[in-house]
Amino acid sequence: MDLELSTREKELAAKGRAFCDEVLLPLELITDEHGELPMEKRAAVRQAVRDWGLAGINHAKEHGGLGLSMVEQTAIEEQLGRVTNGLWSCVWRAPVSLKSGSPAQIDQYLRPSIQGERRGCFAITEAEAGSDPRRVKTKAIRKNGQWLLSGEKWFVTSYNASDFIIVHAHVDDDPDKPTLFLVDKPVANMVHLRSPKFMHNFAFDHAELRFEETPVPEDRMLGQVGQGLELTKDWFVEARMQIASHTLGAAIRAAEIANDYATTRHQFERPIRDFQGVEFMLADMAVEIFAAKSMLYRVAAEIDRGLDRKVVHAHASALKLFCSEVAGRVIDRALQVLGGRGYMRENPVERLYRDIRVDRIWEGTSEIQRVVVGGQIRKRGLDIYSGWQ
């Protein structure tokens, strides 16, 4: 068993960290104050992603991506997770579901998205459909050689940074026919209802959209009728790996800040780390990070060696659940070690505290991950988690 990162993996981690420190961290406060990354900063960050060789981190070379292994991607993503305000999303990850597109869709959507010339956002969730996508009411009806989409979508992340939307709709209003559509912006008969404020201030918005018989050309269906959930599943594994990496990076940054502060802050004539109440918090933070990091790189390595897709899915759920909850606990303790300073908006730990809360909600809530884990134990036995696959 080799638990060492290779030289290349270490180099990629160092590049991710340097990019985060030099390009993204200077944008944190302005993004928090402004509510999102100001428009005038966006082109320069996009160019920086290209200049640093970080365009297409999650795609194969055949489509113009970097061809990185999952461990290599994870090494970069962990470092990007250190930044607050969702600025990690400036390093685009073209949707994996686009790989299932027709040759024309791959040329028109996937390749330019990998280069950062185009960007797509996902519209699955609705007012009545969150954890349970069968409740989606957005429908697609084929009429006169085109599709007409009708319905309302919520929480469409990065809508204002995107030029196309991947919309999950039920063909003929039939929940057995979940299907994805590529909707180019601007499009007729689609209304941007609003982009509400959230607990975090994120690089881009989270929009609500209404489709009113929005016309979509026939060749903009992604995959086949009924394949929508299947294509979204592939995306879930990748998104859960990214969330696990980002939350770990966030937890480590908070722990580092708390650890330094505990050494320099004096009360009652000694550093506060000399009080066991503080030192035990640091110890608990370190132990949880140690466990989360070990689990993250194990699952990444399993993906690289081609472990069965269903087992990978099961492990990615457990990983997302664990890392997002560890990060919540670690950052909460870090804030406590910092006392009142940790509660100030100018302190990264305060922003991490707000940022990290959503990671227990999006891409499958913690409860849904427990449903997946519980179901896997029932189906395959405890060994799927307690043994070696």
Q: Which stretch binds ligand FAD (CB under 6 A): 16-24, 120-128, 311-319, 381-389?
A: 120-128
Interface residue with ligand FAD among 66, 70, 124, 167 (CB under 6 A) is 124
Least CB distance from residue 197 to ligand FAD, whole Å?
A: 10
Interface residue with ligand FAD among 125, 245, 317, 369 (CB under 6 A) is 125
Least CB distance from residue 371 to ligand FAD, whole Å?
A: 5
Q: Which residues are within 8 A (CB) of 167 and not within 5 positions of it... i.e. 6 or more apart? A: 123, 138, 149, 153, 180, 181, 183, 211
Between 311 and 361, CB nearer to ligand FAD: 361
**Residue 279 burial by Cβ neighbours in a 10 Å radius (0-12, 13-18, 19+):** middle
Q: Which stretch binds ligand FAD (CB under 6 A): 63-71, 115-123, 277-285, 288-296?
A: 115-123
The token pair that represents 126 in the structure block: 């609705």
Residue 84 binds ligand FAD, judged by CB under 6 A:
no
Residue in the shown chain whose Cβ atom is closest to ligand FAD = 130
Between 187 and 361, CB nearer to ligand FAD: 361
Least CB distance from residue 109 to ligand FAD, whole Å?
A: 17
Cα(190)–Cα(162) distance, rounded to whole angstroms?
A: 15
Residue 64 binds ligand FAD, judged by CB under 6 A:
no
Least CB distance from residue 154 to ligand FAD, whole Å?
A: 7
Residue 229 binds ligand FAD, judged by CB under 6 A:
no
Least CB distance from residue 363 to ligand FAD, whole Å?
A: 6
End-to-end, the C-alpha distance of the chain in Å comes to 13
> Please, what is the Cα angle at 289 between 285 and 291, to 5 degrees?
120
Least CB distance from residue 156 to ligand FAD, whole Å?
A: 5
Interface residue with ligand FAD among 35, 163, 177, 198 (CB under 6 A) is 198
Least CB distance from residue 214 to ligand FAD, whole Å?
A: 17
Q: What is the greatest pairwise CA distance in the chain? A: 80
Cα(142)–Cα(215) distance, rounded to whole angstroms?
A: 10
The token pair that represents 347 in the structure block: 């302190």
> Please, what is the Cα angle at 164 between 160 and 167, to 5 degrees?
105
Q: 3-state DSSP call for residue 251?
A: helix
Number of residues that bind ligand FAD (CB under 6 A): 19
Nearest residue to 108 (alpha-carbon basis) of 164, 43, 56: 164
Least CB distance from residue 183 to ligand FAD, whole Å?
A: 14
Interface residue with ligand FAD among 118, 139, 206, 293 (CB under 6 A) is 206
Cα(85)–Cα(250) distance, rounded to whole angstroms?
A: 11
Nearest residue to 87 (alpha-carbon basis) of 255, 260, 203: 203
Between 109 and 122, CB nearer to ligand FAD: 122
Cα(227)–Cα(166) distance, rounded to whole angstroms?
A: 13
Q: Which x/- pattern, by CB under 6 A, does the window 141-160 give for ligand FAD?
A: --------------xxx---
Under a CB-based contact definition with an 8 Å cutoff, are residues 95 and 113 in contact? yes
> What is residue 280's DSSP assignment?
H
Residue 165 binds ligand FAD, judged by CB under 6 A:
no
Q: How many CB atoms lie within 10 A of CB 309?
A: 12
> Hey, which residues between 354 and 383 contact ligand FAD (CB under 6 A)?
358, 361-362, 365, 367-368, 371
The bridge status of strand 178-184 relative to strand 270-271 is: unpaired
**Residue 270 burial by Cβ neighbours in a 10 Å radius (0-12, 13-18, 19+):** exposed
Between 23 and 121, CB nearer to ligand FAD: 121
Between 229 and 368, CB nearer to ligand FAD: 368
Between 54 and 124, CB nearer to ligand FAD: 124
> What is residue 272's DSSP assignment?
G
> Hey, which residues between 14 and 53 contact ligand FAD (CB under 6 A)?
none
Which residues in this chain contact ligand FAD in the complex, by CB under 6 A?
A: 121-125, 130-131, 155-157, 198, 206, 358, 361-362, 365, 367-368, 371
